[in-house]
């Protein structure tokens, strides 16, 4: 049994992670602002992680074997957490994102198209950190989501005091109504009613992961002994047209496309630049991934019965 703290953990794969850790017999503590209570038997600390004094007071004398941070988006949040958990945990795992590799958001080393992007493309140990940017501004943060994640990883990597690992997740799908982004439901609804999907003239593949597989990987990461970033994606990159074809086969409709040039806004998962991740490191460390095409039809079936969220 381990003492595991999950920051966030109130929805989607975070909620599933909490359930699975608890079912596995771990002593689990959830930290969030109280909007959603955790399952019975899970300790719940209601506190704003951005308030360092309140977070430190809420933690009191608690110590943990592992912290899993689901909701760290800025270097400021990372610095607060690093100080608050110094001496209170042996290991810290942060959920990060494929977006750290997006070449449209930073000057990154070029990776040839078709070559899966490895973790060393973004090295948190060398990444610059700027605490004085307006990270508290929601509009700024939304526009700089990838950079916030890169800098948060950098802060934890340099903090010391505990082992640090980041899980860079691919686009997460599955779960029907649980998938709070509504992106797969958006595609399913559009194709089912014959609406047009906006795609780039030339689309490139990206990578995906099922929400249950990501919960599995995060649970694995709590007991693994690696440090640094690890990419999390199912086998088999897929471009937007391939995704649409799988949906269309179940919806019984042919997809309708509206094309736009590179650089213009398009529907989710229409990618006009290369940053599809490699999952080789996670495999070498012992994690086994499914194939995207094995679980995607089931996720599509769920999405076809889910009301979509407003999106592009």
309 within a domain of the structure (yes/no): no
Label residue 253 exposed, middle or buried (CB < 10 Å: 0-12, 13-18, 19+).
Answer: middle
pLDDT one-digit tens code per residue, 43-58: 999 999 999 999 999 9
CA distance 25 to 131: 39
Is 174 within the bounds of a domain?
yes
| Residue of 116, 167, 205, 171 lying closest to 299 (CA atoms) | 171
Residue 175: is its pLDDT beyond 90?
no
Q: Which residues contact 180 (CB under 8 A, 6 or more apart)?
A: 11, 12, 309
Residue 311 maps to a domain: no
Residue 196 neighbours by CB distance under 10 Å? 13
Q: Is the pLDDT of residue 311 over 80?
A: no
| 163 bridge partner residues | 91
Domain count, the chain: 1
With a CB cutoff of 8 Å and minimum separation 6, the contacts of 86 are 159, 161, 162
Cα(193)–Cα(245) distance, integer angstroms: 15
Do the domain assignments include residue 85? yes
Q: Could you tell me if residue 310 is inside a domain?
A: no
Residue 183 sits in which domain range? 3-303
pLDDT per residue as tens digits for the range 88-135: 999 999 999 999 999 999 999 989 988 999 999 999 999 999 999 999
Query: What tokens appear for 28 in the block?
Result: 């689990």
245 lies in a domain? yes
d(CA 97, CA 139): 19
Q: How far is CA 242 from CA 153, 203, 248, 271, in A?
A: 32, 10, 10, 12
pLDDT, tens digit, 9 for 90 and up, residues 8-31: 977 888 899 999 999 999 999 999
Residue linked to tokens 């973790």: 119
* CA R_g for the chain: 19
137 has a pLDDT exceeding 50? yes
How many Cβ atoms are within 10 Å of 157's Cβ, its own excluded? 23
Cβ-based burial of 110 (10 A; exposed 0-12, middle 13-18, buried ≥19): exposed
**Domain of residue 95, CATH code:** 3.40.50.720
Contact 172, 213 (CB under 8 A): no
Q: How many CB atoms lie within 10 A of CB 11?
A: 15
């Amino acid at each position: 049994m381990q003492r595991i703290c999950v920051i966030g953990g109130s929805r989607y794969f975070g909620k599933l992670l909490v359930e699975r850790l608890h079912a596995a017999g771990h002593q689990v503590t959830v930290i969030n602002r109280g909007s959603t209570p955790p399952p019975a038997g899970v300790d719940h600390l209601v506190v704003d992680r951005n308030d360092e004094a309140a977070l430190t007071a809420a933690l009191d004398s608690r110590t943990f074997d592992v912290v899993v941070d689901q909701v760290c988006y800025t270097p400021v949040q990372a610095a607060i957490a690093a100080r608050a958990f110094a001496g209170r945990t042996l290991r810290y795992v942060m959920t990060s994102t494929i977006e750290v590799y997006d070449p449209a958001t930073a000057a990154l080393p070029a990776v040839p198209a078709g070559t899966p992007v490895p973790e060393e493309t973004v090295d948190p140990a060398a990444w610059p950190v700027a605490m004085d940017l307006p990270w508290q501004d929601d509009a700024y943060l939304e526009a700089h989501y990838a950079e916030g994640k890169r800098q948060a990883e950098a802060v934890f990597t340099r903090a010391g005091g505990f082992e640090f690992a980041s899980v860079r997740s691919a686009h997460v799908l599955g779960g029907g109504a649980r998938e709070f982004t509504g992106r797969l439901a958006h595609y399913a609804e559009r194709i089912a009613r014959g609406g047009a999907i906006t795609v780039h003239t030339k689309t490139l593949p990206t990578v995906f992961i099922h929400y249950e597989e990501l919960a599995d990987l995060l649970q694995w990461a709590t007991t693994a002994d690696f440090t640094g970033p690890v990419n999390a994606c199912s086998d088999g990159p897929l471009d937007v047209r391939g995704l649409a074809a799988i949906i269309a086969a179940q919806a019984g409709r042919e997809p309708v496309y509206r094309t736009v040039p590179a650089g213009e806004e398009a529907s989710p998962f229409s990618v006009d630049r290369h940053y599809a991740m490699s999952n080789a490191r996670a495999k070498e460390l012992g994690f086994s991934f499914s194939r995207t095409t094995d679980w995607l039809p089931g996720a599509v079936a769920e999405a076809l019965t889910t009301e979509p969220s407003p999106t592009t």
